[in-house]
Amino acid sequence: MSSEQTLILVKPDGVKRGLVGEVIVRVERKGYKITNLRMLTADRNILAKHYAEHEGKPFYEPLMEFMASGPIVAMVAEGERVIEGFRKLAGATDPTVAEPGTIRGDLARDQGTKVVQNIVHGSDSPESASREIKIFFNN
């Protein structure tokens, strides 16, 4: 099996709470290599491309607002089965039910907001990873 890449985003809630280093440490401790990293405040154009499949859904606008509300950190991680591995490391989308030991289980909490604020995003497939990396790293 060959090495693969994934896009990991530390969302505005994670950046605001000073958890970028913790996320990086967990990714690296797992044995994955971070090959690209940048901090940005995502504009509507970038977010519209990233969340294109959710356009028209009830949570789309609140999600766009949340993701544009502050800086995010985008990174490319590489390794064997990194997509599956990072998603397991991140934990369930809902932080209240995310297993202890996962990023969301340990660090995220339900905010009672319109959009789940759960610290991180990770690509869900090789196709998504390829598309998402191009959006955030335009190379």
Q: What is the pLDDT of residues 106-138, one digit of tens each?
A: 999 877 777 789 999 999 999 999 999 999 998
On the question of pLDDT at 71 being above 80, the answer is: yes
* Residue of 11, 26, 87, 121 marked catalytic: 121
Pairing assessment for the beta strands 72-79 and 120-122 based on DSSP bridges: unpaired
Q: Which of 28, 45, 23 is nearest to 136 (CA)?
A: 45
Q: Is 54 a catalytic residue?
A: no
pLDDT digits (tens, 9 = 90+) for 94-110: 999 999 999 999 999 87
pTM (two decimals): 0.94
Listed in sequence order, the residues at least 6 apart from 64 whose beta carbon sits closer than 8 Å to its beta carbon are 44, 47, 48, 51
Topology of domain 4-88+123-137 in CATH is Alpha-Beta Plaits (3.30.70)
